[in-house]
A = this chain, B = another copy of it.
C-alpha cells in the first residue's frame, strides 16, 4: 500500500473518524489534504459542525507528521499538545482540510531532533477551504512526536 492508503486504513480504524467519512486525498511530501462529505458533518444550521472542522484540521496535522515519519522509516507516536482555532465563515460544502509545517520550521530540523532525542515538538498550520481561495477555519497546533516500538 502507498503511504496515503496506510493513513486511510488508520483513519478507518478510529470510530469517530470513520463516522466523519474522512479520507486523505493528496500528499506531496509537504502538504496533506483530507476530504469529508458535508452530510456526515453537518450542524443544526446546515453548515459544517465546528467539532468536525476542528477534527479534520487536527487529523490533517496528525496525518502530516505520521506520514512524514513513516516515510523516513521512523517509528513514532504522534500526539496533539495544543491548538488555536478560528472559525471564519460558515461552510456549506464538503470539507477539504490541508496541513503543512508552520513557516520557519523545516523537516530536516524536525527529523534530526527526533533522531537525536527520540522526541520532538512540531508546529503545524491547517485550514479548511471555503471556495474561491477563502478560508472557512484555520488551526495552529503543536504536536509531540515520541519514539515507539
Q: Which residues of A contact B (CB under 8 A)?
A: 10, 13-17, 19-20, 39-45, 49-52, 54-56, 58-59, 62, 77, 79-87, 90
Residue A80 contacts which of B40, B50, B62 (CB distance < 8 angstroms)? B50
Contacts of A55 in B (CB 8 A): 49-52, 54-55
> Distance in Å from the Cβ of A80 to the closest Cβ of chain B?
5
- CB–CB B84/A80 < 8 A: no
Given A44-B10, A55-B55, A58-B54, A17 and B49 contact (CB-CB distance below 8 Å): yes
Give the residue name and chain of the B residue nearest to A39 (CB). Answer: B15
A81 / chain B contacts, CB cutoff of 8 Å: 86-87
Distance (whole angstroms) from the CB of A90 to the closest CB of chain B: 8
* Pair B58/A41 contact, Cβ less than 8 Å: no
